[in-house]
Amino acid sequence: MIQSDRPKDLFKRKNNKKAYYKSQDDSEKSKNYLNIWRENPSFKDINTRRSITKAVSLLILTGLSIISVFITTENLLTSVILVAIFLVMFVCIFHDGFFCLDMVFTKMFRKIINFDPFESYVFWFNRDDREILYVHNKDDSLTFAMKIYSVKIIPENINPNVGGFIKSLSIKGIRLSYSYQVVQKPIINPFNENTDLQKMQNASTSTIGNIYFTVFGSISGILTTRKIDKLSHHINLYSRNLKSNLVTKFHHFKTKPLSDEALLNAIRVLYVGIDSQMDENRNVNLITNSIKKIFPKFIIFLFLLIYTGWIFSTIIVLDSVYVLLIVISLAFFLTFVWWRPILFELSRRSLMRNSDIDFLNPFRNVKFYTLRGLPYSIFMHIDNRLLIGMKMVSLKHIYNDARRKFDPRYDLRFEHFVEDLNYHKIRFTYTLKNEPLYYYTFKKYGFKKCYDNVKNDILFHPQFRIENDIDEERWLLIRKGMWFSFLTISANSYKFTNSLDITTLEKMEQELDSQIRTLKGAFKSNFDSYNVEDIGSNQLLSGYLFSVFKHNRFTIDGSHLFYLMIQGDILVPLSVPDRVLRRATDSQLPVEFNSPTHLRNFITIGHTINTEVFEKEVPFGFLYEQVKKLLIVNGTSPSRELTIIKIVSELILQGKPSLIFDFSGQWSKLFSLFEGSQYIDNISHFRLGAAFTTNPLVSDIPYDSHNTEYLEYMFDVFALAFKKDQRTIDMFRDVISKNPDMDFTSMQLQAQAQSDWQKTPLSYSLQNLFSSLSPQDRTYFQDLQTTSKILSYDFVRSEKTIIIDLSILKGKNKQLFFTFLILSKIIHYIKYKDDYTPKIIVIPNIDLFFEQRFLDFRWDYGKIDSFLDPLSYNDFGFIFSANQVSYLHPNIHTFFSNIISFRATDNKDVGILKNLFGLQAALGKGEYSDKRHNKYQVDYLKTLTKNNILVKRDDIYQAFPAVINWVELQKLRLFSYEQILTLMASKGYDLRANERRILDGARQTIFEKDLGHYYYYIEEIINFLKNISSVDRVANLYKKKVKEELKKILYPKLLQRTNKKDHMKKIHDEIFEKLLRHGYLVEDHSRKASGSESLATSYRVGEQYEEALRDYYNTRMETSEVQLEEVKEDIFPSQSRRYIIQQENLYDALKREFGGLFYDTSKVYDLIGIGEYSNAIKIEQIIIEKFLVNVYRHYYNIDRVVMPSEMTPLFELLEKLEGFPLKADELESYINEDQQINLDKVKSKVVAERLYISISNFYNKIKNFVVQE
């Protein structure tokens, strides 16, 4: 126990005595100052005062009993016999008060003895601080608490300053007792009744090492809340002192206070990983004494009080007051000396009333055994599955170990000792408890064992004699203090077994005996002047409790273990976390960074790391301007993505929107994160191919006269995404310029339709260009004919955070193509419009788009500026991530001055990041000491793990390490697509309808399946088959005649592609063969006048044509979203024009829109021809109004729904147009006539034909005007 008051010196100097010391050199430094005694003072931990008190009280009790009985009986023999019987009963009942008799009665009649070493101990946590474990010893009415620090990381190439650590803890004003424990044990995972023991045995071959530093404190007596608070206060004070010294003396060691289950595993010591449930019901059985234990003692207790009262009142005849005082005094004496457990009944109520206490039983599944005749072993059977055996030795003597001062670089004794144990596969527990001494304690217990010359130096040396407190402290500090030290080492054996019998225990005893002999030999060979001794019986039990509680203050009678008085310098080699332990624990390079503590953050995403202790320090994040220029590189894709999700979630909390391109489908976690909060309304989700599509050939701006500017961006996107050279892109540009009305799919079909003899090297390049996208990918290019169509610029017109899900695409290059295609449209939009919201744009895998080699050797790195500058100038920000920073073009780094890097393994990546971060790689001067020549910053970059990162901020000169707090994000579930659709519907988006239209548009028609790449000629083929069907019943259509008709119809379009007759003939023949093969043309034999069939083969149109034609028009009708009930609200789809030739040119507007009128009129004719009257009426009802509205929109260059009432000015302009065949009132009558139809009251065929006549008249008048002009 530590004393606080210094008593008077026990040794007084005689002033008249001459100085005895004689030496050739009076300097103490010239001799070995540690060599002060031949043998370190050794003691046994026994509470001598309490032992003497018990012995004396028992003798007095015996003497008084004999005298009183003799006076009563007047027979000495009878008196002796009666008192002897009483004493035997007393000893039997109070045997637990005698250390040597504690387990005698238990072992007397059994071979295998079952006992519970923790029967008298109650464990609990305070709910407010679960880093402190409280334990109460009911038998001694003693409460102690402990806080344990575990060493999580041991640095490479760095030796801790153990000497400075020990010295600091011995300084006056601190004098901190602590324990140091090293445990090596197998890794044992949780198991249940169905677990295969053989598998558990195989899994337990791995070894884990734990290093613990523990502080502790104790109080005795009746337990109160005030005492618990005082004990907690002292433990926290001790722990702060210990932690401060660990930080300053154990550089780059990571030590962490344990709590909850980890703390319980630390006190279990010998096993880990087996679940131990907390006692949530605060089981009263844990804190109440057994009735069997209390009742006999109570009888003896009551008998002694009554008997004493009777003697003093009857025999000695004292006044009743004095008798009462004597009885009360005796009761207190017996209670505090022999029956302290009764005091716990008073403490129990205080504990039970405290609602902040959680009781627990860490050893609830453990049964303890020992064998009679084998007192040096303890066995533990855990959960009836795991058997552990233990033998232990204790350090008893040290003989003159002061030959040299300890230097961790050369004194490797402890390391060699652990190596020996590891070689022999011995699992061990090494527990060292140290208590610093005051000088007066040394003089009391150690001075008399010093050499005579040392005594004379202390008493009489003219220079070094000790005269005052300063001299005493100097004398202690030069030795790094004087300590009382306990050291126990145990060898532990493990075996998985369900049964427990004598044979099993004896086999384990043999194994333990071999292990403990090896352990003692290894210790002796490395510490030759140290003597360890086996401990057994009750002393072994105390040794086990010492290793569990990490100190010896678990009983007031003393642990009966050996301890020594040791100088701090001699204690150092026993306290070194050796290098071998790195194999069983985590190790890390001793990296040096000056992590900033003055960070200003707009958002916080983690904490900086103090690499001196590898602990979190201050919150870390970025300013908003820094987030807008953030690059995240290396590591794994999930780690980069989780980091960005964390950043975006913080931006949402700050009201800053983002535009996210989701390649993995993981971003729906944001909905789970903000589910139930107001922030979920600020997030929208759109999936490509389900919620929207995008046409790569148009900018999405209606009537865009600058569409060609956008197309240049699209060409660059195609080149950078699919790595196409300049010549291929130039050819692509030429094809589009020659075919402005052709969509992307038609271009691809045209390229595929070329025969081998038609293809040139450039043709092959163009076909290869189109092959970069699969047919499924091309379905995402279709135009949705609906007012609810989602356009690219809608993503920046909204003030919400937008998630664009591109995970449906297979391949990063395709995902990047669509990403930058949308960005190109946004860039083009914000150039001419100002109704947008600047956002943070999130794009992953940017290194595949701005790839260095491609930009330098086959393209132009200036394209980086062309994409980023327009957005940056308009206050957009970027969060880009790259798989490898070395793939990125260096020009990208001019945009991004804020960088996060995960682990980099490629040498190129390391070299680039070294320069970007300014990391030190070569030997140089360390941050903390001139002797440390390497900062290991580059090595740290190579070994980053999990969510550890290196960060470079533009407002901090040096890079620094940090950790991202994404643990909660990892646990979040993904929102299902049905949940997303429901959520988006609540925001006004009918994404289900959009998805249905896209799927309908993506469905291939029968024509497309049968004709393949010749679908390019679909309109011509339909016209050909329509002409044939009109005459095949009245005329004999022989093969030659059919081919001539096909040639005549295909000729105009073929002429656009080739003027070579042999090429044209081959295309004619191949199309004719396809029509025959798929049943569009079938063989027929005309009948003669006689009724017989002609031998000559003729052809007619087959039933396949009617089925394919019906499917073709039905598909087109579904995708055009023409519905009768929606005519008024959504009369025409909002279809953007690629460009307008000349705004406010009425003739050009009529000419441009006449093509649509022609197409719709032809479609009506075909539908009536095949009897599809209802579908024909659907088109007829709006065909004229649609044409006039489109003329209006084209002429005024607007993109919105136009009501008929607004069109009067256009009608007046048309009436004034020279040569225009219709008046304004006639135009209005056409519209009114169509709108007044009610299909429920008339027959479909009659209405369809009547409307067609009216539409034909209108069509012919417009056609004549346009052609004439």
Q: Is residue 76 part of a domain?
A: no
Model pLDDT, residue 287 = 43
Q: Is residue 461 part of a domain?
A: no
Q: Model pTM?
A: 0.71
* Residues in CB range of 982: below 8 A, 6 or more apart: none
Q: Is residue 69 part of a domain?
A: no
- Domain ranges, residue 617: 605-724+772-982
Specify the DSSP element, H or E, that contains 637.
helix 637-653
User: Do 641 and 496 share a structural domain?
Assistant: no
Model pLDDT, residue 23 = 38
As a residue count, the chain comes to 1269
Q: Is residue 336 part of a domain?
A: no
- Closest Cα to residue 1007, out of 1122, 1113, 1162? 1113
Domain count, the chain: 4
Q: Which domain CATH number covers 791?
A: 3.40.50.300
- Closest Cα to residue 961, out of 983, 934, 936, 986? 936
Give the count of beta carbons closer than 10 Å to the beta carbon of residue 305. 16
User: Do 814 and 944 share a structural domain?
Assistant: yes
Q: Is residue 750 part of a domain?
A: no
- Closest Cα to residue 396, out of 530, 576, 233, 261? 530
What distance in Å separates the CA atoms of residue 1057 and residue 755, rounded to the nearest whole number?
Answer: 12
User: Do 621 and 682 share a structural domain?
Assistant: yes
User: Do 1024 and 957 share a structural domain?
Assistant: no
Structure tokens at 729: 């892109």
User: Do 221 and 194 share a structural domain?
Assistant: yes
As averages over each run of 10 residues, the pLDDT of the chain (1269 residues) reads 38 38 38 78 82 67 64 65 64 58 54 84 88 88 91 84 91 92 82 57 71 92 83 93 90 88 90 53 44 59 65 62 68 64 64 75 88 88 89 90 52 85 91 94 89 86 84 90 95 88 90 94 90 90 94 87 91 79 74 86 93 86 95 94 95 95 93 91 90 86 86 89 83 75 60 50 54 68 67 91 92 92 94 92 94 82 88 95 92 92 92 88 50 74 90 90 90 88 86 70 68 72 77 64 80 71 77 81 62 62 77 58 36 40 66 77 79 80 83 77 76 82 80 51 70 82 74
Helix, strand, coil shares of the chain, percent, nearest 5, are 50, 15, 35
- DSSP characters for 1045-1063? HHHHHHHHHHHTT---HHH
User: Do 424 and 514 share a structural domain?
Assistant: yes
User: Do 1035 and 1162 share a structural domain?
Assistant: no
Using CA of residue 881, residue 885, residue 887, residue 890, what is the dihedral sign? positive
- Closest Cα to residue 658, out of 720, 592, 603? 603
Helices 1208-1216, 1173-1196: crossing angle, 10 deg rounding: 80
Q: Is residue 789 part of a domain?
A: yes
Examine the fold and report which residue of 1101, 1126, 1158 is the final residue of a domain before the chain moves on: 1101
User: Do 386 and 487 share a structural domain?
Assistant: yes
Examine the fold and report which residue of 1101, 1133, 1157 is the final residue of a domain before the chain moves on: 1101
Q: Is residue 49 part of a domain?
A: no
Helices 1146-1169, 1018-1031: crossing angle, 10 deg rounding: 50
User: Do 966 and 893 share a structural domain?
Assistant: yes
- DSSP characters for 948-1005? EEEEE-TTSSS-EEEEE--HHHHHPPPPPHHHHHHHHHHTT--HHHHHHHHHHHHSPP
User: Do 956 and 906 share a structural domain?
Assistant: yes
Model pLDDT, residue 1019 = 77
The one-letter amino acid code at 558 reads: G
User: Do 685 and 563 share a structural domain?
Assistant: no
What distance in Å separates the CA atoms of residue 141 and residue 810, rounded to the nearest whole number?
Answer: 71
Opening angle at CA 253, ends 247 and 258, nearest 5: 85
User: Do 873 and 844 share a structural domain?
Assistant: yes
Examine the fold and report which residue of 951, 982, 1013 is the final residue of a domain before the chain moves on: 982
Model pLDDT, residue 4 = 38
Burial 867-877 (b: 16+ CB within 10 A, else e): bbebbbeeebb
Model pLDDT, residue 1122 = 36
Model pLDDT, residue 242 = 93
Model pLDDT, residue 1128 = 33
Is the CB of residue 966 less than 8 Å from the CB of residue 643?
yes
**HSE (side-chain half, CA atoms, 13 Å) at 759:** 14
Tokens 């009963």 sit on residue: 89
Q: Is residue 1159 part of a domain?
A: yes
Structure tokens at 302: 């009551």
Give the count of beta carbons closer than 10 Å to the beta carbon of residue 1126. 12
DSSP code of 851? B
